[in-house]
């Protein structure tokens, strides 16, 4: 059983294959966190840890819990207003002006399976035997407020999925903060790992020792953003890829978020994650329920690789959905960096013809096919074809691509409107705005107010029309700016601080409607590159354009950081032209191709400008990729060397049966002093023998893993793709 309740000890025990999570009910009402770490089969003796005494200067909680103080007691979920004076997960203002919440244990139930969260994305099961769920009901009698803590535990995956629901049977209440998880870990000697970045530089890894007080990252930008990802890990100071304690927290949500670690003078560490409480206020009426999104917690006692492998497996198989979850995705050619806005039907068909000859399977037409859009300053919202560029319409172009034996894909930026558009002229109140204030533009555009039903319906109808009328097999869903003046014309004043979350609910509604209605269409997410590449997007977008930076060397860091949480199958990666359009660097086609093979390979350049030799090289690249993509996308990933720590990046992917290992090794700079070094592989069968594909190495798994192979920084920006097959 994955979840048990020991009645005599009042202890809940949540078990995954490799982890135990324990908490108890104290004095019949308060939940005390006991342990999160490596699996413990026999928990006898755990009682001795259950009752920390009062710390000096602490307030004792309610008379009947004396002498306990929740300020020193590790909590399971944390409320503002009583004796726990650390930063809480829950904070509300009641009708009488009070801010005290005392929600105590009332009941619990353990069920097989795992249900979804209304209106929100979440991990799922295909069969009830895959997971168990514990729901704990906490009740504030005075305010008639119920808080339900939900924990789902997978039978075969080391993940614990948490969420929180609030049900109000009392007077309307303003919820200021309702974070999805709160974990009080013993001790303070941890590092805080987060993923930060900017446009074209997403998800760089940052690691800092925790200090007394708060370490916090968040987004107030409306989407999860380029700046910080909704992920954090707390790890032991000595943790590395294969050693040490790592606690991962990943938020299945794409809007404003916060994650913080607070070290208290008691030398304990609290980690909370949820919807950002900054500028958040949810008015919960009588009889209403609020559901907070899911946090996926992963503990590993074997460092970061094991944590990432757990996220990869869970997200690839039980968060991503639809026909393309397991199926190989088409190798695509996208015209953006090839033509930008300057294209017509003939140019696109010419690119498609060359793409087809090189083995590409999908022609994607990017921005600029609609309205009068020849630059980024107009027409978003006017989703009717520009017949000067495409006289036969999208329908005609798609037919011609189809006749070539290729699939056709189309770019949209459905959440946006240009002030210079018919849509904006007809509905100036359809965008996010605040009455009486100027409307700040980002990339010359405004954001449609997806908290409104009519706006969501407009997007669904417009896109459905195109998807029904034309042979469209793929949609690139872009989103190119942050929120500003984030108000809604339809909501009353007391609900204006709900807009950011209502927007996300609207977006998820639109996305689930469209992806369910058009199950054969592959949807790829994009947000000025990787500005909204988070777990909340994966149920709709099985792959995401990872960054607008397509330079192979910059991509080493971007894809490396992204792989901390995201599986290779979700990482959209395109070979582009040189000199690279973002950084001006020149790299070989081989290096560009190899780096992109660590994700979903695509091409984004004008193929008609390449030589026959280059097209032939691309054809061979695609042939190789098609033979290896199953291993890369579904295998176990090992980050052998890090571009954040040294001069190269090396990623290894091992098929689940250890038959094949794909190694992608790329260097940043030429190093005269260290021309070659040994790279030790991981995850092979140590008793088997392996042969290098196309090379002359034959040797044992033990040799490959203990002695290693010799690789060299033979020149700047070089890269090698190596494949080892078991013989």
Please enumerate in sequence order all residues whose Cβ is within 8 A of that of 6, keeping only pairs 6 or more positions apart, or say none. Answer: 12, 13, 43
Out of 89, 528, 556, 661, which residue is the one contacting ligand DGJ (CB under 6 A)? 528
* Interface positions, 390-429, toward ligand DGJ (CB under 6 A): 411
Q: Which two tokens stand for residue 264?
A: 């208290």
Provide, rounded to whole angstroms, the least separation between the CB of residue 544 and ligand DGJ. 10
Provide, rounded to whole angstroms, the least separation between the CB of residue 605 and ligand DGJ. 13
**C-beta of 239 vs 549, nearer to ligand DGJ:** 549
Q: Which stretch binds ligand DGJ (CB under 6 A): 149-157, 172-180, 298-306, 522-530?
A: 522-530
Provide, rounded to whole angstroms, the least separation between the CB of residue 526 and ligand DGJ. 5
Q: Tell me if 302 sits within 8 A of 17, measured CB to CB.
A: no
Out of 191, 361, 415, 548, which residue is the one contacting ligand DGJ (CB under 6 A)? 548
| 262 is a site residue for ligand DGJ (CB under 6 A) | no
Tell me which residue has its CB nearest to ligand DGJ.
367
| 552 is a site residue for ligand DGJ (CB under 6 A) | no
| 524 is a site residue for ligand DGJ (CB under 6 A) | no
**C-beta of 123 vs 582, nearer to ligand DGJ:** 582
List the beta bridge partners of residue 262: 214, 270
Q: Which stretch binds ligand DGJ (CB under 6 A): 21-29, 233-241, 419-427, 526-534?
A: 526-534
Q: Which two tokens stand for residue 23?
A: 């908490």
Q: Which two tokens stand for residue 298?
A: 């992963």
Q: Tell me if 257 sits within 8 A of 294, measured CB to CB.
A: no
**C-beta of 341 vs 697, nearer to ligand DGJ:** 341
| 479 is a site residue for ligand DGJ (CB under 6 A) | no
Distance CA 508, CA 537 (A): 9
Out of 20, 165, 256, 480, which residue is the one contacting ligand DGJ (CB under 6 A)? 480
Q: Which stretch binds ligand DGJ (CB under 6 A): 214-222, 251-259, 261-269, 521-529?
A: 521-529
Spell out a b/e string for 494-509, using b for 16 or more CB atoms within 10 Å of the CB, else e: ebebbbbbbbbbbbbb
- Residues annotated as catalytic are 478, 548
Q: Is the dihedral of CA 210, 211, 214, 216 positive or negative?
A: negative
Q: Which stretch binds ligand DGJ (CB under 6 A): 111-119, 424-432, 524-532, 535-543?
A: 524-532
Provide, rounded to whole angstroms, the least separation between the CB of residue 92 and ligand DGJ. 39
**C-beta of 268 vs 367, nearer to ligand DGJ:** 367
Spell out a b/e string for 378-402, using b for 16 or more CB atoms within 10 Å of the CB, else e: bbbbbbebbeebbeebbeebbebbe
Provide, rounded to whole angstroms, the least separation between the CB of residue 547 and ligand DGJ. 8
By CB under 6 A, the count of residues binding ligand DGJ is 11
Provide, rounded to whole angstroms, the least separation between the CB of residue 341 and ligand DGJ. 8
| 336 is a site residue for ligand DGJ (CB under 6 A) | yes
Spell out a b/e string for 170-179, using b for 16 or more CB atoms within 10 Å of the CB, else e: beebbbbbbb
**C-beta of 372 vs 715, nearer to ligand DGJ:** 372
Provide, rounded to whole angstroms, the least separation between the CB of residue 551 and ligand DGJ. 14
Local structure of residue 542 (DSSP, 8 states): S
**C-beta of 529 vs 598, nearer to ligand DGJ:** 529
| 343 is a site residue for ligand DGJ (CB under 6 A) | no
| 508 is a site residue for ligand DGJ (CB under 6 A) | no
Q: Tell me if 212 sits within 8 A of 265, measured CB to CB.
A: yes
Q: Nearest Cα to 548, choosing from 644, 447, 632, 478?
A: 478
Give, in order, the Cα–Cα distances in Å from 327 to each of 520, 526, 556.
11, 21, 26
Window 353-392: contact mask with ligand DGJ (x via CB under 6 A): -------------xx-------------------------
| Locus of tokens 């992608």 | 664
Q: Nearest Cα to 525, choosing from 487, 474, 596, 563?
A: 474
Provide, rounded to whole angstroms, the least separation between the CB of residue 508 and ligand DGJ. 21
Stated as kind and residue range, the H or E segment containing 248 is: strand 246-252
Out of 94, 545, 651, 653, which residue is the one contacting ligand DGJ (CB under 6 A)? 545
Pairing assessment for the beta strands 269-275 and 181-185 based on DSSP bridges? antiparallel
**C-beta of 386 vs 480, nearer to ligand DGJ:** 480
Provide, rounded to whole angstroms, the least separation between the CB of residue 550 and ligand DGJ. 9
**C-beta of 294 vs 367, nearer to ligand DGJ:** 367
Cα angle 32-3-253, degrees, rounded to a multiple of 5: 75
**C-beta of 150 vs 574, nearer to ligand DGJ:** 574
End-to-end alpha-carbon separation of the chain, Å?
39
Q: Tell me if 164 sits within 8 A of 180, measured CB to CB.
A: yes
129 phi/psi in degrees, rounded to 5:
-75, -10
Contacting residues toward ligand DGJ, per CB under 6 A: 336, 366-367, 411, 478, 480, 526, 528-529, 545, 548
């Amino acid at each position: 059983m994955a979840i048990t309740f020991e009645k005599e000890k009042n202890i809940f025990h949540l078990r995954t294959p490799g982890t135990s999570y324990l908490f108890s009910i104290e004095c019949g009402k308060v939940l005390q966190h006991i342990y999160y770490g490596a699996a413990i089969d026999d928990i006898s003796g755990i009682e001795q840890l259950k009752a920390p005494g009062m710390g000096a200067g602490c307030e004792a909680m309610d008379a009947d819990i004396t002498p306990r103080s929740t300020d020193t007691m590790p909590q399971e979920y944390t409320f503002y207003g009583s004796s726990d004076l650390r930063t809480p997960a829950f904070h509300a203002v009641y009708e009488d002006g009070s801010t005290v919440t005392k929600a105590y244990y009332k009941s619990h139930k353990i069920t097989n399976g795992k249900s979804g969260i209304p209106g929100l994305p979440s991990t799922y099961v295909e069969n009830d035997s895959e997971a168990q769920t514990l729901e704990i009901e906490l009740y504030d009698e005075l305010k008639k407020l119920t808080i339900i803590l939900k924990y789902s535990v997978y039978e075969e995956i080391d993940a614990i999925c948490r969420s929180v629901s609030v049900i109000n049977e009392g007077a309307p209440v303003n919820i200021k903060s309702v974070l999805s998880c709160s974990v009080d870990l013993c001790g303070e000697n941890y590092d805080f790992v987060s993923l930060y970045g900017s446009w074209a530089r997403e998800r760089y890894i940052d690691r800092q020792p925790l200090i007394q007080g708060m370490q916090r990252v968040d987004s107030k930008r409306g989407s999860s953003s380029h700046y910080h990802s909704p992920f954090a890990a707390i790890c032991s100071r000595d943790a590395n890829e294969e050693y040490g304690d790592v606690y991962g927290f990943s938020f299945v949500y794409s809007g404003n978020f916060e994650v913080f670690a607070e070290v208290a003078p008691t030398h304990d560490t609290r980690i909370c994650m949820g919807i950002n409480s900054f500028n958040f206020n949810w008015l919960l009426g009588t009889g209403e329920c609020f559901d907070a999104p899911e946090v996926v917690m992963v503990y590993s006692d074997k460092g970061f690789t094991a944590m990432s492998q757990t996220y990869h497996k869970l997200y690839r198989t039980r968060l991503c959905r639809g026909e393309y979850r397991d199926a190989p995705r088409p190798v695509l050619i996208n015209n953006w960096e090839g033509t930008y806005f300057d294209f017509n039907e003939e140019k696109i068909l010419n690119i498609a013809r060359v793409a087809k000859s090189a083995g590409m399977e999908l022609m994607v037409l990017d921005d600029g096919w609609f309205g009068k859009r020849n630059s980024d300053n107009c027409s978003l919202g006017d989703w009717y074809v520009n017949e000067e560029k495409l006289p036969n319409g999208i329908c005609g172009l798609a037919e011609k691509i189809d006749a070539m034996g290729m699939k056709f894909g189309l770019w949209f930026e459905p959440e946006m409107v240009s002030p210079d558009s018919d849509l904006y002229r007809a509905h100036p109140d359809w965008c996010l705005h605040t009455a009486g204030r100027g409307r700040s533009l980002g990339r010359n555009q405004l954001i449609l107010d997806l908290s409104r039903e009519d706006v969501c319906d407009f997007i669904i109808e417009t896109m459905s029309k195109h998807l029904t009328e034309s042979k469209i097999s793929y949609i690139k869903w872009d989103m190119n700016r942050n929120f500003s003046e984030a108000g809604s014309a339809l909501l009353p004043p007391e609900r204006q601080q709900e807009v950011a979350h209502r927007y996300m609910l609207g977006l998820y509604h639109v996305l689930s409607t469209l992806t369910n209605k058009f199950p054969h269409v592959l949807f790829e997410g994009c947000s000025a590159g990787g500005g909204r590449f988070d777990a909340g997007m994966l149920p709709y977008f099985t792959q995401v354009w990872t960054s607008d930076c397509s330079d192979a060397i910059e991509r080493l860091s971007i894809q490396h950081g992204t792989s901390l949480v995201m599986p290779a199958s979700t990482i959209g990666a395109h070979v582009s032209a040189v000199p690279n359009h973002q950084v001006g660097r020149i790299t070989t086609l081989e290096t560009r191709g190899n780096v992109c093979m660590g994700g979903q390979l695509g091409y984004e350049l004008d193929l008609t400008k390449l030589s026959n030799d280059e097209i032939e090289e691309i054809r061979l690249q695609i042939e190789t990729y098609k033979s290896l993509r199953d291993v890369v996308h579904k295998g176990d990933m090992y980050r052998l060397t890090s571009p954040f720590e040294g001069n190269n990046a090396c990623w290894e992917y091992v098929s689940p049966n250890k038959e094949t290992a794909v190694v992608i090794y790329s260097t940043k700079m030429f190093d005269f002093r260290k021309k070659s070094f040994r790279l030790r592989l991981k995850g092979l069968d140590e008793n088997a023998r392996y042969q290098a594909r196309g090379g002359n190495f034959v040797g044992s798994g033990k040799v490959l893993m203990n002695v290693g192979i010799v690789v060299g920084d033979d020149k700047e920006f070089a890269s090698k793709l190596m494949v080892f097959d078991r013989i």
